[in-house]
Amino acid sequence: MELNGKQKRYLRSLAVNIRPIVQIGKGGLTNEILTSIRKAADARELIKVNILQNSDESRDNVADAIEEMGLDVVQIIGRNIVVFKVADKKENRKISVDVKNLLK
């Protein structure tokens, strides 16, 4: 889903209050971490990914890998990346309903 500026601002305002769910450490960006990012984003729709200080991964490489999976990178601040994905299950769709309403 391509997000416009108004939608990104709304998602950024929601992301202020959430804590990072996935952390990338010195093991780097593995398939297991990418899978956990996808599962967490599908369950919650809006998540934060934190790149720890001891990680060799750059934030741009991580953001590119996340976008290749079909997820939307909303914001990158320091070593935190805010990620959005519309949930596959309808019962998990809470934020995406509000985001779609911002198009009108």
pLDDT one-digit tens code per residue, 57-78: 999 999 999 999 999 999 999 9
Asked if CATH classification 3.30.110.60 holds for the domain at 5-96, the reply, yes or no, is: yes
What pTM was estimated for this model as a whole?
A: 0.90
With a cut of 80, say whether residue 103 has pLDDT above it: no
With a cut of 70, say whether residue 42 has pLDDT above it: yes
Q: Using pLDDT thresholds of 50, 70 and 90, give the confidence band for residue 104.
A: low
Query: What mean pLDDT is predicted for residues 27-45?
Result: 94
CA dihedral 59, 16, 19, 88 (to 10 degrees): -80
Instruction: Say if residues 45 and 94 touch (Cβ distance below 8 Å).
Output: yes
Instruction: Say if residues 51 and 15 touch (Cβ distance below 8 Å).
Output: no
